[in-house]
């Protein structure tokens, strides 16, 4: 302080001053938190009633890190010989997570799941909060809590929400780069037939109450929630349905399933959302229209390609899918192009009822799956598809579970439930009344 007052004021000196003041304030704060937690641990240990088979092995000291710094905590340690498990009752009761206080563990999870790497999370915590947590420790905490987040997402949902005019369910899959051992025996799109990625499913639920002045649908503000899974689609579908139930599936006047036209997603929709109106994303339909025209014309470079694609777009928006199919078939009849055209037309033949875009727009429905497409980029891609990344399945799943909860604005609920059930989660701890 004296040095600051003695020298000419400048920005660097001010920066150093603030860091010094923060450090000075953190020391007594750390001491206070440590004192209070030690007192709490002592009360817990005094009241704890060992379960049958548990034996007290004495007191153990551990290092605990909190928002303001590290302190030591002394607490009883018990061992169950039959289960070959040991624990400290105070750790669970106080919500301590991998040697961190609940507040720090929550912050670490936020940073570790939100930043593009664990190393960047380490740098950000130190730079912004003066909190030294290693990338390795951040990873440990995120993986431990992320595993619990998965279980929390998969639990049976209680019907919730309120009556809404339109409840949308959408889903898609995107490839996540995986370690070699995760891909053994998997076919892929590489030249040698091998895979470099594994598909992660992402689902979202959102609501719509109104349209704008021009009749375009308006998504309800902050109404989108997400779930993800590396499991098979028959495992992912019920998970997505659980989120929809929680969001008010039973109360919605109209349920809409927005998908890309893939048969797997359509089948999932029929099984998990049998009353839903299925709509194929218009922009996927337009992409497939381009493939039909390539089969008809030979190349995207054909002088009529763009003009005809625009014509297809206008006719799709006017419920003319059937006539487009008929016209394409007539144009290539008896030519060598016919098999290729018919193959590309299969997408439209299969989805014709889901492509009544003119009718859907007049009824005020979304016809584009932009919400889930953006989700694949922001929820999955931004964290799991960075350059040089290769994941193990558990590691990616745990991170994505946390990211889905965060992006669904449900972190507070999850964390509250986790702290309330912390003792019972691992040890079924029972405190004396």
Flag whether 406 is in a domain: no
**Quick one: 35 and 120 in the same domain?**
yes
Residue 409 clears pLDDT 60, i.e. is over it: yes
Q: Which of the residue ranges 52-61, 181-190, 331-340, 404-413 would you say has the lowest mean pLDDT? A: 181-190
Compute CA 169 distance to the chain's CA centroid, rounded to the nearest angstrom. Answer: 15
Q: What is the pLDDT of residue 212?
A: 93
93 near 104, Cβ under 8 Å? no
Three-state DSSP state, 320 = coil
Q: Which of 30, 82, 24 is nearest to 53 (CA)?
A: 82
Which tokens is 197 given?
Answer: 């990625």
CA distance 75 to 73: 7
Please name the residues in contact with 418: beta carbons below 8 A apart, sequence gap of 6 or more: 95, 145, 148, 152, 425
Do residues 369 and 282 touch, judged by C-beta distance below 8 A? no
State yes or no: pLDDT of 303 exceeds 90.
Answer: yes
Binned at pLDDT 50, 70 and 90, residue 2 comes out as low
In a domain, residue 113? The reply is yes
Q: Strand, helix or coil at 173?
A: strand
What percentage of residues in the chain have a pLDDT greater than 70?
Answer: 95
C-alpha span between 23 and 130 (Å, rounded):
8
Q: Report residue 47 as tokens.
A: 């009241």
DSSP one-letter code for 250: G
Instruction: Return the structure tokens found at 329.
Output: 């078939």
Band of the pLDDT at 371, cuts 50, 70, 90? very high
For residue 242, what pLDDT band results from cuts at 50, 70 and 90?
Answer: very high
- To which residue do tokens 């061992």 refer? 79
Distance CA 51, CA 124 (A): 43
What would the mean pLDDT of 420-433 be, rounded to a whole number? 50
Structure confidence at residue 5 (pLDDT):
59
**Cα 308 from Cα 285, distance rounded (Å):** 14
Are 197 and 186 members of one domain? yes
For residues 179 and 254, membership in a common domain is answered with: yes
Mean pLDDT of 88-115: 93
Domain co-membership, 133 together with 48 = yes
Identify whether 417 is part of a domain.
Answer: no
- 425: which residues sit within 8 A by CB, 6+ positions away? 92, 148, 418
Residues 146 and 180 in one domain: no
pLDDT of residue 431: 39
Q: Give yes or no: residues 140 and 42 share one domain.
A: yes
Same structural domain, 341 and 264? no
Kindly report the CATH number assigned to the domain that includes residue 277: 3.30.420
What pLDDT shows up at residue 257? 98
Shared domain check, 125 and 74: yes
User: How far apart are the C-alpha atoms of 387 and 384, rounded to whole Å?
Assistant: 9
| Residue 160, pLDDT score | 84
Q: What's the domain count of the chain? A: 3
Cβ partners under 8 Å of residue 197, min gap 6: 175, 176, 177, 178, 188
Please report the pLDDT score of residue 363 as a whole number.
94
Do the domain assignments include residue 220? yes
Considering only 84-88, 349-353, 377-381, which range has the smallest mean pLDDT? Answer: 84-88
Residues 179 and 243 in one domain: yes
Report the pLDDT value the prediction gives residue 4, as an integer from 0 to 100: 58
Range of the domain at 349: 284-353
Query: Residue 196: is its pLDDT beyond 80?
Result: yes
In this predicted structure, the answer to whether residue 42 has a pLDDT above a threshold of 80 is: yes
Between β-strands 254-259 and 166-177, what pairing exists: parallel, antiparallel or unpaired? parallel
Query: What is the overall mean pLDDT for the chain?
Result: 91
pLDDT, tens digit, 9 for 90 and up, residues 348-363: 999 999 999 999 999 9
What residues contact residue 37 under an 8 Å CB cut-off, 6+ apart?
64, 71, 73, 94, 101
Identify the pLDDT of residue 18.
82
- The answer as to whether 66 is a domain residue is yes
pLDDT of residue 423: 54
Whole-number pLDDT of residue 87: 85
The residue behind tokens 């799943």 is 397
Q: Which two tokens stand for residue 275?
A: 């009353």
Domain limit, last residue, from 128, 154, 180: 154
In this structure, the answer to whether residues 24 and 142 fall within a common structural domain is yes
Residue 171 is predicted with a pLDDT of 97
**Structural domain includes residue 122:** yes
> Three-state SS string across 145-164, please?
HHHHHHHHHHCCCCCCCCCC
Same domain as 299, residue 226: no
88 by Cβ neighbours in 10 Å (0-12 / 13-18 / 19+) ranks as: buried
Residue 56 lies inside a defined structural domain of this protein: yes
Residues sharing a CB contact under 8 Å with residue 38, sequence separation 6 or more, in sequence order: 73, 74
- pLDDT band per the 50, 70, 90 thresholds, residue 60: very high
Tell how many helices (H) and how many strands (E) occur in the chain: 18, 9
Q: In the predicted model, what is the mean pLDDT of residues 315-341?
A: 95
Residue 183 has a pLDDT of 87
Instruction: Pick the last residue of a domain from 307, 324, 353.
Output: 353
Q: Is residue 194 part of a domain?
A: yes
Classified as helix, coil or strand, 293 is helix
Average pLDDT value for residue range 93-117: 94
Q: Over the stretch 272-298, which tens digit does the pLDDT of each residue have?
A: 999 999 999 999 999 999 999 999 999
Residues 272 and 289 reside in one and the same domain = no
Q: Is 131 in a helix, a strand, or coil?
A: coil
DSSP 49: -
Task: Select from 154, 182, 198 the last residue of a domain.
Answer: 154
Angstrom distance (rounded) from CA 171 to CA 28: 50
Q: What is the DSSP letter of 75?
A: E
């Amino acid at each position: 302080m004296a040095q600051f007052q003695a020298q000419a004021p400048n920005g660097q000196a001010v920066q150093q001053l603030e860091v010094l003041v923060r450090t000075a304030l953190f020391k007594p704060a750390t001491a206070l938190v440590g004192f209070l937690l030690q007192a709490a641990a002592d009360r817990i240990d005094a009241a704890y009633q060992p379960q049958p088979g548990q034996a007290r092995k004495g007191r153990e000291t551990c290092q605990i890190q909190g928002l303001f710094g590290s302190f030591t905590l002394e607490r009883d340690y018990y061992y169950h010989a039959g289960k070959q498990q040991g624990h400290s009752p105070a750790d669970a009761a106080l919500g301590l997570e991998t040697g961190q206080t609940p507040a720090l563990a929550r912050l670490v999870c936020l940073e570790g799941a939100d930043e593009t790497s664990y190393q960047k999370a380490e740098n950000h915590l130190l730079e912004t909060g003066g909190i030294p947590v290693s990338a390795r420790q951040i990873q440990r905490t995120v993986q431990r809590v992320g595993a619990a987040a998965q279980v929390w997402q998969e639990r049976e949902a209680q019907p919730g929400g309120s009556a809404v005019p339109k409840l949308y369910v959408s889903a898609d899959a995107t490839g996540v780069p995986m370690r070699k051992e995760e891909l053994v025996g998997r076919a892929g799109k590489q030249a040698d037939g091998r895979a470099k990625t594994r598909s992660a499913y992402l689902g979202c639920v959102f609501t719509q109450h109104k349209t704008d002045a021009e009749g375009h649908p308006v998504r309800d503000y902050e109404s989108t929630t997400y779930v993800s899974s590396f499991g098979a689609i028959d495992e992912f579908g019920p998970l997505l349905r659980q989120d929809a139930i929680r969001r008010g599936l039973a109360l919605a006047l109209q349920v809409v399933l927005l998908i890309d036209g893939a048969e797997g997603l359509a089948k999932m929709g029929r099984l998990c959302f049998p009353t839903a109106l299925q709509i194929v994303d218009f922009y996927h339909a337009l992409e497939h229209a381009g493939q039909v025209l390539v089969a008809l014309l030979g190349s995207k470079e054909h002088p009529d390609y763009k003009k005809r694609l625009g014509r297809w777009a206008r006719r799709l928006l006017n419920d003319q899918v059937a006539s487009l199919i008929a016209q394409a078939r007539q144009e290539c009849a008896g030519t060598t192009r016919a098999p290729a055209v018919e193959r590309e037309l299969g997408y439209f033949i299969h989805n014709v009822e889901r492509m009544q875009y003119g009718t859907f727009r007049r009824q005020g429905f979304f016809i584009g799956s932009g919400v889930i497409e953006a989700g694949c980029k922001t929820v999955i891609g931004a964290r799991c598809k960075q350059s040089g990344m290769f994941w193990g399945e558990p590691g990616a799943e745990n991170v994505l579970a946390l990211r889905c909860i965060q992006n669904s604005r449900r972190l507070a609920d999850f964390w509250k439930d986790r702290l309330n059930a912390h003792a019972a989660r691992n040890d079924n701890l029972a405190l004396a009344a």
